[in-house]
A and B are shown apart, each in its own frame.
Chain A
Amino acid sequence: MVVIERSLDEPVYEQIARQIRECVASGELSPGTPLPTVRVLASDLGVNLNTVARAYWMLEEEGFIRIRDRSGARVAAPARKPAGDRERLRQELRETLARLRQAGFTSEDLHRLVEREIASLADGRDK
């Protein structure tokens, strides 16, 4: 289920992309699963077609979905990213960890947090 909260600072297209990303990462949406068409999702959410299209393009760029003209958008299978992309993702993780450290998390807290998140992703995939 995708839920949009207009009162949040996060743009609507990012809210859509984030939730689909989470569904894919947790295994709720398995590779090959068709996503609703841009029109259907925009209609159900009551948002502009461009907002949903932007979220889909973003997800395609990140490798979460594949967009084909005829069959629409489908969840993509995990693929090994090029070295440049992986380095960028590592940098993002590092920045997030630095922010968490600054927010008062100790190294042990960070270990527990990361392990818990990895476990929850694995649980979702095992379902």
Chain B
Amino acid sequence: METRIIWISFLVLLGVIGGFYFLFPRISRSGLLFGVYVGEEVSKSEAARRITRSWYLGMALWLAAAVALALIMGLQYQSVPGSSAALFLLPLGFLEEYLRAYWRARKLARGRAAPLAAAVILTEEPKPLFLPYMAMGFGLVGGLYSIGYAWSHYAQLPDLVPIHFGLLGQPDSWRPRSFSTVMMLPTMCLVMGVGIAGMAYLIGQAKRAIRYGDQGVSFEAQQRFRRIMANFLAIVSLLLTGMLTILSQSSIEVGLRRAQALSPAMMMLTLILVIFALAGSIYIAVRYGQGGSRLEKSAADRPLTDGLADNRLWVLGMFYVNRDDPSLFVERRFGLGYTINFGNPEAVALLGGFIGLIILIAIIAKFAS
């Protein structure tokens, strides 16, 4: 029963990820084509449409292959790892199709003059965002509380502690008690909660790419989108901290034999978090488009300015490298969300630090086993 639920979840996840990939060209900013700035007119040309059509066809084939793999592995061999391989097949296909479309789009951008750089001088200070700060504080409090709770109950825990739970919250895997095993979840709570909230704060300060000529609409669109993304991530951080805090405490309660299964509140929060994250991402993508492109209205045909529009600053249309630019976060050129400025040592250190912490937790978990 449980294997079947996991297997169906894989299929749903495949559909959601595949659906997102299909959505990307539709929400793309006018002027951008698969990570290349080709200009507003060229992006609507027949040549551009041909590239997009062939991308759709390629992605449809990859999605069909991934679903087929998941079905075969699930139905024929009842293999969960086999089915999960399908989840890796899809990003692989995405990368292959993206790079193919990217090189074709590059040809359309040949001979384009360097774009202008533009900024708006605000005569009114924008209101500071409250939610990212709140989420950071909550992440810190939740994380420290979880660590403190695990620490204070460590001595009372039996020799075997639960490390994995089934869909209904019952423990299904145990390990000998060790400090790293017990502290892993609370540490993850602290790192993830504060990390995602911090990212939300930085996205609120991300680089703005406006359109030259009709500053008002384009600028407002940028501001609005940044706030929406920052608040969305802050809420995800709040839910994640809540969920991981309850999970940390609940798993210790199960370890102490005070409870048979994880708290229903944790299961409920997990469900809310997953639904909110998925539905929220889809809603933002469809409603606002890439970087708020669907809010640009009349400004959409004006040329995009420096940053997003300068092809020389983007490696493969994915990595923004500008040593002069002090921006930490910049809007992605293809898809939804933000990426870092790889030319800024502070941004690279920030990303490296976050990835390093997660790797450290994974290594501790590995040694703990």
Contacts and interface: CB of A to CB of B under 8 A. Distances in A.
Interface of A: 1-7, 20, 23, 29, 33-36, 39, 41-49, 51
Nearest to B323: A48
Interface of B: 113-114, 116-123, 125, 207-208, 210, 212, 215, 305-307, 310, 313, 322, 324-327
Contact of A44 (B123, B207, B322): B207
B121 A46 contact: no
Given A1-B215, A42-B326, A44-B207, A35 B117 contact: no
Contacts of B324: 46-48, 51
Given A44-B208, A46-B306, A46-B325, A1 B117 contact: no
B237 to A, nearest CB: 24
A20 B306 CA distance: 19
B215 A43 contact: no
Contacts of A20: 121
A77 to B, nearest CB: 16
B325 A4 contact: no
Nearest to A3: B118
Contacts of B208: 44
B207 A3 contact: no
28 contacts: A1-B118, A1-B120, A2-B118, A2-B119, A2-B121, A3-B305, A4-B117, A6-B117, A7-B114, A23-B121, A34-B122, A34-B123, A35-B121, A36-B122, A41-B121, A43-B326, A43-B327, A44-B210, A45-B117, A45-B306, A46-B117, A46-B307, A46-B310, A46-B313, A46-B327, A47-B117, A48-B326, A49-B326
Nearest to B207: A43
B123 to A, nearest CB: 5
A4 B122 contact: no
Given A45-B306, A46-B306, A1 B119 contact: yes
Contacts of B207: 43-44, 46
Contacts, number: 73
Contacts of A1: 118-121, 212, 215
A105 to B, nearest CB: 30
- A3, A48, A51: most-surrounded residue (chain B CB, <10 A): A3
A43 B116 contact: no
A4 B327 CA distance: 17
B22 to A, nearest CB: 32
Nearest to A46: B325
A32 to B, nearest CB: 10
Contacts of A42: 325-326
B19 to A, nearest CB: 33
A34 B119 contact: no
Nearest to A15: B117
A29 B121 contact: yes
Contact of B123 (A2, A4, A33, A43): A33
B326 A44 contact: no
A39 B327 CA distance: 8
B297 to A, nearest CB: 18
Contacts of B313: 46
- B117, B118, B119, B122: most-surrounded residue (chain A CB, <10 A): B119
A16 B325 CA distance: 15
Contacts of B118: 1-4, 44-45
Closest 9 CB pairs of A and B: A44-B119, A4-B117, A43-B327, A46-B325, A48-B324, A45-B117, A3-B118, A45-B119, A1-B215
